Every structure is written in C-alpha cells, then in structure tokens.
Chain A
C-alpha cells in the first residue's frame, strides 16, 4: 500500500484576539491524507476553516492542535506543526508550494522575475529560470506584453495566473492550492485544469480548495469535507476540544 506524503491528524486552528478578549475558532478536528500523484479536495462552506488548513501546513498560521505529518523527499517524517523555522523555510524553498488566493509579491519586479523566483531560490541560473517562467506563463495564456511589467496593476484573473505560474513552475512535491480557478474565464480555467492534471501525472501531490462541485469531481481523487465550527462554541469548549485532539 502507498504511504501518504501528508497525513493530518486532529488539526485545529483558533485565533486568540487579546485586545477583544476573544477566541475565534476556525478549523477543528481536520483529518486528511494526500498522496503522490493524487489530488485531495478540501470542500465545505465559507468559514469552515479550509484556508486555515492550508496556511497551517505552510505555517503562515501556527496550528492550535493536531499533527501535520509530512514525509520529505528523503523519506523522513516531519511534523510541520512542530518543525523549526529553518526546516520550514527549507521545505518551502525545496518541496512545498502554495498558491494563495491573493498574489503577494515583491513590488517593482517584472512578472517574469516574480514567476522565476522560486527557481532562482533553488539555485537555478536566472536565464534558465526565466525561460521556464516564460513557458509557464505562455501555457497559462498570459499575454507576452505583460511579462516585463509588475503584476501590481493586473486584473484579478491576470494576477491569479501569475500566482499559479509561480506555484507551478518549481514543480513542488506537495502543492497547496486555494481556489486556483476562482477568477478565471472558462477557457483559462480549462487550461489550468489541464496543467493540474499534467503535474498530477508527474507525481505532484496536491491539496486543493475548490468551490465548484464539478472541479472536485473532475480533479479530486479524495474529498474531505469540513464543517464550520458551531456558533455556540465558547472559549471553554475550544479548550476541551483541544484536549481531545492532543
């Protein structure tokens, strides 16, 4: 039997807002597995904490409870909930990619350099990185006249393509996708789907948030549904849950 690249047990995330004296629950009791060459789809209504799961894996959020067991390319098991910062940075550079919902990139950088960046970080020459970036941008149908300018002034759909290109170009072992086709026209969305299918064939493991059931159906090998934390969940209740998950 195949072993998962990523296995999450009892993940929870809540936010403690000191100023307001409040705890805001986000994800709770999330369990899932992701395998090489497969896509696990994360579904559920808004507020169910789907993005928090992805951010918890990438450690943009600090998980509140649970284990995030990732098997790296050397076969070593690492709990991303506990890993030190240098280990996380190394994994981000070499193995784990994240296409977030909104593009954040360095200002004043050309689109080509934004997309090439993950390859440059890995030590590829600027020229070869730019060539691969250009290929990916072309595959995603972003007009060539935009490549030399900064994505700051781009439309939502154009920004999303830049974001996708940057996430896909380095072919990570594990790719996290937060609504990858949300603001794309149907033709471009279809291209993105084609690319996702392609990298799946190449063995990339993916965890993706989709809103369209059709996409889940087409691309998902596994489906995990999250439910929003119940509105009556109090601070105390969260503490109790944590004990159960710990």
Chain B
C-alpha cells in the first residue's frame, strides 16, 4: 500500500500565543487554553501517515482537536506550524506551501469533505443536483449533459431519490442531506476523503445505512479516509488504525482492535470503559 499523506508536527493555536502556551496546555495541564495569554491550543504536534485505501480514525471528546486536524488538511483553516505532504503517483505536494490556486485544485479534485453540519458542505440555495454540478464545474467538467449524468449517477449511488434531485437539500431529512454531501464529496472520485462526525445526530437506522455506504465506497474505490468521531462504535466498524486525542494532543495511537481491547493511556481506558 502506497503512502498518500504524511502529516508532521501539525499545530494550530487560536489567539496570539505566548512562549508558555505549549507547556501550559495539554492532557497533563487538563486544559487547552493557555492561562498566561488566553490562546487556545487546538492541536499541537500531531503527526501521522495515511496509506491508499486506509481508513484512519481520529477519536476523542468534544474540544480534543480532532476536527481541527481535518479542517487544516482540507484548507478550511491555516495551521500555525507543521507540514503535510500529499503524495500522488507522479507528484508530491507540500500542502501548506502551495499557493491559493494550487490548494483549491487539491481541495476540489483530490480531496472530499463531509461535515457533521450539512450547511457547511452544501449550498442550500441551489438544488441537490446543482450542488454536485458546482463541484464538477470547479474541476473542469463543463458539458451540461455530462454533469447532469454524473450527478444522477452519484445520487443514485448514495441512494438519494432521483425524482428529488432538483429540490434544495433544505427540504431533505438529515440522513438524506448527508447522502447528498457524500455524493458531492465523491463527485471528482477523490483518493482522500475527510469525514467529520458524519453520523452524529442521526437516528440509529439511518446511521447504520450511512456507515454501510461509507464501507462500500471504500471497497469499491479504494478511497483513503480520515474519520473523525467520538463514537467508539463508528471507530470499531470503519477504521483499521486510530489516534486518540485529548486537549489537542495525540495521546495514543495504534491498531483499532488494540486501542479498544488493550488501551494504554488512562484517558483511553476511561473512554473505552464508558462505551455503552
């Protein structure tokens, strides 16, 4: 399996930061807010690799920084420091050294993102089909008929009723909105997909079908994924390896079955023990 992503020492601090931010935050300090300057150390020193077709889990409770990691990798935010290298068969990209146009190209053509909140991923002012068309247009497909066909194909793959593709996602249920988001993310057949709490807040039967869909897509297309979730069931079901985060730090990483059956860190033990 080829390595496609290499993240090294990624850090993101909200606020002006001070020389004591790092030592004053983290799991030992039991906070992510620096008591000296009030800055929030959202993530610090996060490093990991991702291989082709692999599903990596980022787990931890709210505020642990797990979403910040994917937001930085999707260029929704700019990291304070650190590097990420995206590796294609014929090219390597130092992601945070690219100019805005190059970053947009990666974001539109090579990455896909599914947010917990569909409002972030979808444009509610246009139809569901239009949402997909928008992404295809940004990645150089411009023939109307072709776009329409591709949108149909994607929506039927994610089991969205084609009879409703001309409606705004605003009229859809939560589960259906997530399906449109997944279809949109897949539009350019990206090798890397970020999934940020995609099933959180959906009812159980809808969750199950979304998770099945994600697994099917991974098997069909060999898409690598980074799955952000606080749900241990999702971690167990989807991922092969996982990172456990707390107050912006990775406190433990390993094979998913090992993290769940033989957690090493006190926090992970508590997390696993509190699973329903």
Contacts and interface: CB of A to CB of B under 8 A. Distances in A.
B266 A85 contact: no
Nearest to B255: A85
The B interface, classified by DSSP as helix, strand, loop or mixed, is helix
B257 A106 contact: no
Interface string B239-276: 01100000000000011011001101110011001000
Interface stretch (A55-63, A71-79, A175-183, A237-245): A55-63
A17 interface: yes
Contacts of B258: 59-62
Interface residues of A, number: 19
Given A61-B258, A62-B258, A19 B237 contact: no
B212 interface: yes
Contacts of B141: none
B215 A19 contact: no
B135 interface: no
B266 A60 contact: no
A241 B240 CA distance: 33
A86 B51 contact: yes
B98 interface: no
Given A55-B261, A61-B261, A18 B269 contact: yes
Contacts of A16: 264
B1 interface: yes
Contacts of A59: 255, 258
A89 interface: yes
Contact of A18 (B51, B262, B266): B266
Query: What are the 6 A-B residue pairs with the smallest beta carbon separation, nearest first?
Result: A18-B266, A61-B262, A60-B257, A60-B261, A85-B241, A85-B255
9 contacts: A19-B269, A59-B255, A59-B258, A60-B257, A62-B262, A85-B255, A86-B1, A89-B255, A108-B212
Interface of B: 1, 51, 208, 212, 215, 219, 237, 240-241, 254-255, 257-258, 261-262, 264-266, 269-270, 273
